[in-house]
């Protein structure tokens, strides 16, 4: 039977006892009391009507994912906002930025409102819709950015596609600067990646698979850094995958430009040779890269060049992933495994982990009022409790996601979510989803 624990009626006081609180101020041992959706007390020897022993665990602001494909509306066979939200909660997330490549795309206030409403209905995380940069993500005409911004959209992207046209991107940045929003780019010069299946490398030549060259990403990173310099717009680089991209962003930050970047757990942990199995679960865009790229991405995340760990959770139905490698859609699941992969492959302290999984992404998404907050009285009780030492293996049949395309099956992961608290209520208790 599923373990159940809610904080029950509104005035019930729940205390998370004996954990290590980790936030922007570092680490300390403390009990955390929650009441009416807020953290109300942090200290020692606290008690409430419900006391939950979390010794050996970290208590931190809930994770924020800048990059989740929730597939609704239009591709509900792969995921719904509810199943994706549940997967997020199980991964320790309290907010997900929903990517716009839905059908219809998130280029109108009607679709944005629908996504937000479905998120509220599920009530498991804050679903934060991104808006398209161009109508239908077609790269031809700008989406109604001002209208979308007025409806509360803070982050704009055509993810799945990069905006190819330089003039259109310049205009988007000029408007974006005026509106105070962030432009998030999927960096891919599409003329260089036609038919590509995997990283362009020696391996791809011997396997006879068309290559996706690093330069296709780096040219667009470079272009958008220069457009950010020209326009002053805030630009966020999605799923960076190459060593040279990290260097370009590092130099841009040194110049004081308003750029941020993210990396995915899979680009930090899996290399291009995985495609030698011809298994479509390893097909992803941008592709898995070389060990040298992986080392540079890890260093970029460690030294602050890369601000955030973002999942690019991309569910696909089994039927689609069973197609031949050149036909199968790119993408892999990420929400339920991100923490475990991060703790297994990264050599960062817990404060930095919380910075890249919660504090920084909350800032980039423009939701720091509710997420990524220090664990102190008055903060909304959006929290994750995880055991950094627990080891586990992914069992696809136990995933909350509607899809099964995880590349981490059989990998021993370290770091497991015990509880997730959203708006003061347990959405996950002892690893089990509560709704
Ligand atoms: O691998 C990917 N899958 N990369 C993207 O940019 C899009 C995503 C998807 O929507 O499936």
pLDDT digits (tens, 9 = 90+) for 300-340: 999 999 999 999 999 999 999 999 999 999 999 999 999 99
* Predicted pLDDT of residue 233: 98
Q: Name the residue among 329, 295, 357, 408 with its Cα closest to residue 94.
A: 357
For the chain, the structural domain boundaries read: 14-59+377-433, 62-365
Whether residue 217 has its Cβ less than 6 Å from ligand 1? no
Decide if pLDDT at 418 tops 50: yes
User: Looking at the chain, how many residues does it have?
Assistant: 435
CA 350, chain centre distance (Å): 18
Residue 432 is among the residues annotated as catalytic for this protein: no
Ligand 1 in reach of 337 Cβ (< 6 A): no
Q: What is the DSSP string of 102-130?
A: SSS-S-SHHHHHHHHHHHHHHTSSEEEE-
Tens of pLDDT along 108-133?
999 999 999 999 999 999 999 999 99
Pocket test of ligand 1: the residue of 66, 69, 313, 328 to mutate, having most ligand atoms within 8 Å of its CB, is: 69
Mean pLDDT of 263-273: 97
Q: Report the relative pairing of strands 38-43 and 26-35 from DSSP bridges.
A: antiparallel
pLDDT given at position 208 = 87
Residue with tokens 């800048």: 66
pLDDT of residue 237: 99
Query: Is the pLDDT confidence value at 36 over 90?
Result: yes
How sure is the predictor about 6, in pLDDT bands with cuts at 50, 70 and 90? low
Rounded to an integer, the average pLDDT of 55-59 is 98
CA of 332 to the centre of ligand 1 (A): 8
Give the per-residue pLDDT at 11: 72
Kindly state the average pLDDT of the residues 211-228.
98
Q: What is the mean pLDDT of the chain?
A: 96
* Local confidence band at 278 (pLDDT 50, 70, 90 cut-offs): very high
Catalytic residue among 312, 320, 387, 423: 312
Task: Give the Cβ contact number of residue 432 at 10 Å.
Answer: 15
| Integer-rounded Cα radius of gyration of the chain | 21
Assign 3 a pLDDT band (cuts: 50, 70, 90).
low
Q: 42-75: string of b/e by CB count within 10 Å (b at 16+)?
A: beeebebebbbebeebbbbbbbbbbbbbbbbbeb
- What gap in Å lies between CA 418 and CA 431, rounded to an integer? 5
Lowest mean pLDDT among 1-5, 350-354, 383-387, 421-425: 1-5
Q: Is the CB of 100 under 6 A from ligand 1?
A: no
Mean pLDDT across 188-199: 96
User: Is 348 buried (19+), middle (13-18) or exposed (0-12) by CB count in 10 A?
Assistant: middle
With a 6 Å cutoff on the Cβ, whether 287 touches ligand 1 is no
Query: Above 50 in pLDDT, residue 187?
Result: yes
Residue whose structure tokens are 């290590």:
20
Instruction: Name the DSSP class of 356.
Output: I
Ligand 1 center from residue 424 Cα (angstroms): 33
**5 band by pLDDT with thresholds 50, 70 and 90:** low
Min mean pLDDT across 6-20, 22-36, 277-291 is at 6-20
Ligand 1 atom nearest 69 alpha carbon = 10
Atom in ligand 1 nearest the alpha carbon of residue 331: 1
Residue 281 CA to ligand 1 center (angstroms) comes to 12
Is 101's C-beta closer than 6 angstroms to any atom of ligand 1? yes
Q: What pLDDT shows up at residue 80?
A: 98
Angle at CA 67, nearest 5°, toward 411 and 242?
A: 70
* Confidence check: pLDDT of 1 > 80: no
pLDDT higher than threshold 50 for residue 2: no
Q: Which two tokens stand for residue 35?
A: 């009441």
DSSP state of 406: -
Rounded to whole angstroms, how far apart are CA atoms 101 and 81? Answer: 13
Which contiguous run of DSSP H or E holds residue 31?
A: strand 26-35
- H helices of 124-269, in order, are 145-150, 166-179, 202-207, 214-231, 243-254, 265-269
3-state helix, strand, coil in the chain (%, to 5): 35, 25, 40
Q: Which helix (H) or strand (E) is 249 found in, with range? A: helix 243-254
Contact between residue 59 and residue 19 where contact means Cβ atoms under 8 Å apart:
yes
Q: Name the residue of 331, 332, 401, 406 to mutate for ligand 1: max ligand atoms within 8 A of Cβ.
A: 331
- What is the CATH number assigned to the segment(s) 62-365? 3.20.20.140
Query: Which of these, 399, 416, 425, lies nearest to 86 by C-alpha position?
Result: 399
14-59+377-433: which CATH topology? Urease, subunit C; domain 1 (2.30.40)
Which of 66, 197, 237, 329 most suits a substitution to test ligand 1, by most atoms within 8 Å of the C-beta?
329
Residues 271-281, mean pLDDT to the nearest whole number: 94
| Minimum-distance ligand 1 atom for the alpha carbon of 188 | 6
């Amino acid at each position: 039977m599923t373990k159940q624990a809610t904080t029950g009626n509104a005035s019930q006081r729940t205390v998370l006892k004996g954990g290590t609180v980790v936030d922007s101020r570092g680490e300390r041992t403390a009990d955390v009391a929650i009441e009416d959706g807020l953290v109300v007390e942090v200290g020692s020897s606290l008690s409430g009507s419900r006391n939950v022993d979390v010794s050996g665990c970290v208590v931190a602001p809930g994770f924020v994912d800048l990059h989740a494909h929730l597939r609704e509306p239009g591709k509900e066979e792969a995921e719904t906002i509810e199943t994706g939200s549940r997967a997020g909660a199980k991964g320790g997330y309290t907010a997900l930025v929903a990517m716009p490549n839905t059908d219809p795309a998130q280029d109108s206030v009607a679709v944005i409102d629908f996504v937000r409403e479905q998120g509220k209905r599920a009530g498991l995380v804050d679903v934060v819709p991104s808006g398209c940069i161009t109508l239908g993500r077609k790269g031809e005409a700008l989406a109604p950015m001002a209208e979308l911004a007025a409806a509360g959209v803070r982050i704009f992207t055509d993810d799945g596609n990069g905006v190819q046209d330089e003039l259109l991107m310049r205009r988007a940045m000029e408007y974006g600067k005026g509106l105070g929003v962030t432009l998030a780019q999927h960096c891919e010069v599409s003329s260089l990646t036609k038919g590509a299946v995997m990283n362009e490398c020696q391996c791809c030549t011997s396997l006879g698979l068309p290559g996706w060259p690093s330069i296709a990403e780096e040219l667009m990173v470079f272009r958008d850094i220069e457009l950010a310099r020209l326009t002053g717009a805030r630009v966020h680089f999605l799923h960076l995958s190459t060593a040279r991209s990290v260097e370009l962003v590092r130099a841009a930050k040194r110049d004081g430009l308003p750029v941020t970047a993210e990396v995915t757990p899979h680009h930090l942990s899996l290399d291009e040779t995985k495609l030698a199995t011809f298994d479509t679960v390893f097909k992803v865009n941008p592709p898995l890269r070389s060990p040298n790229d992986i080392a540079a991405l890890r260093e970029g995340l460690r030294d602050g060049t890369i601000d955030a760990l973002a999942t690019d959770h991309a569910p696909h139905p089994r039927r689609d992933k069973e197609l031949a490698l050149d036909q199968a859609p790119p993408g892999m699941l990420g929400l339920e495994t991100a923490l475990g992969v991060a703790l297994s492959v990264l050599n960062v302290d817990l404060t930095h982990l919380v910075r890249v999984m919660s504090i920084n992404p909350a800032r980039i998404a423009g939701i720091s009022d509710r997420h990524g907050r220090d664990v102190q009285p008055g903060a909304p009780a959006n929290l994750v409790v995880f055991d950094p030492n627990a080891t586990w293996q992914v069992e696809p049949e136990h995933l909350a996601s509607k899809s099964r395309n995880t590349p981490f099956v059989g990998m021993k992961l370290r770091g497991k979510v015990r509880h997730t608290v959203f708006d003061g209520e347990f959405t996950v208790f002892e690893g089990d989803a509560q709704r």
